Structure 1
Amino acid sequence: MNKKVEVIEEEEISKTQIKKEADALKLIGRELVGLSKKQLLQIPGSELLFHAISVAHKISDKNEALRRQIQYIGKVLRNEDCDAIRTAIDKLNNKHQQLTHATLRLEKLRDDLIAEGDSKINELLEQFPSLERQKLRQLIRQANKEKKAEKPAKAAKDLFAYLKPVCL
């Protein structure tokens, strides 16, 4: 009854873990194949990866050939920076959400400028020196007048439009 107990080293990876990692890489590969050529330009990767993706675009109507090509893309992805690729794909998929957040931040900045005045203008000019102090002051002054007179916020919209190309 003297059985040997084998101690598995921490460095060894189980077969199941290897398969899970390969499946995850294939999923990333499938997402990459689904992207357009314009979107692929924003993805970091090697020439070999992009060549494999272009081949997959050409054989997209044959199921078994496409499956094998995606499996090959997964193999190529083993030598790539998958975290950077995953981040780039997420950015492409969440572009609308990012734009919404950026617009909300810009609206808050505009409201803060109207409320705080010169101190906030100085902070903003440190971040974005291409903005004009005089133009900012003029738009903020008009926005405050409209706010006190309870008129439509035309100057606030103009301030938003002035900040948008620079601050987004």
Structure 2
Amino acid sequence: MAKHKYHEDEEDTGPSKSALKRESTALQDLGRELAELGKERLARVPIDDDLRDAVKDYQRFTAHEARRRQLQYIGKLMRNVDPAPIRAALDAFKGVSATETAKMHRLENLRLRLLEDEKTLHTIAETYPGADLQQLRVLRRNALKEKEQNRPPRAFRELFRVLRELEDGGVDDEADNIESGDEE
């Protein structure tokens, strides 16, 4: 009888200490990933102000022990937030998510089509009305020259960066148009 009672008590205890420790360590590791982000990316992660301040403090600290304690504090704060949106944002930054991967493939294909045929600029102009077609033409021409002369692919990469900015959308393009004075 006593043996049976022992099993009943064991079932009611919930997660083991080891499981709680693993969960706590995972949250602390997620906090470390947050702490290693740059300012721009950190601003795009959906976290509350207390956690954001703690991460900024961690980035400011230089002493090993201070950073270690701050990471523990970040892990403690992470217990009160839903980690799923944070993980999704970090995965998107790393290009891990399926939509991010598909977007990169789509942009790579667009860049290759543009290099093969200048008429692709018409498609880009229709898809992205704010696109600077002159800049794209120059980058295309420079990328082709680089390939021909076996030089490092600077324009090739810049072309991808410009296409990615167009894909990411409106806010950046409108700001660029306002700064350069050629709003359409």
Asked if Structure 1 and Structure 2 have the same fold, meaning a TM-score greater than 0.5 normalized by the shorter chain, the answer is yes
Residue 155 of structure 2 corresponds to residue 154 of structure 1: no
With over 3 angstroms needed to count, the CA separation of the structure-2 counterparts of 1:65 and 1:159, relative to structure 1, is same
Deviation at 1:92, TM superposition (A): 1.2
Q: How many residues align?
A: 123
Provide, for residues 14-55 of structure 1, a one-character-per-residue CA deviation record: whole Å limited to 9, x for no partner. Answer: 000000000000111111110111111100011100110111
Give the corresponding residue for 2:26: 24
The 1:49/1:2 distance shift into structure 2, 3 A limit, reads closer
Letter in 2 for 1:17: A
**CA 1:17–1:38: 2 relative to 1, 3 Å:** same
Greater Rg, structure 1 or structure 2? 1
Q: 1:22 to 1:158 in 2, by over 3 A?
A: same
| TM superposition score normalised by structure 2 | 0.57
Supply the AA of the counterpart residue of 1:82. P
Please name the residue that 1:35 is paired with.
37
Unaligned stretches of 5+ in structure 1? 111-151
SS of equivalent to 2:80:
coil
How big is each residue's C-alpha offset from its partner over 1:75-117, in whole Å with a ceiling of 9 and x where there is no partner?
101111210001011111218845422325768xx9xxxxxxx
CA-based RMSD of the aligned residues comes to 2.9
Say which structure, 1 or 2, has more relative contact order (CA 8 Å, 6+ apart).
Answer: 1
State the alpha-carbon separation in 2 of the partners of residues 14 and 62 from structure 1: 34
TM-score (norm 1): 0.62
Structure 1 runs (4+) greater than 6 angstroms displaced: none
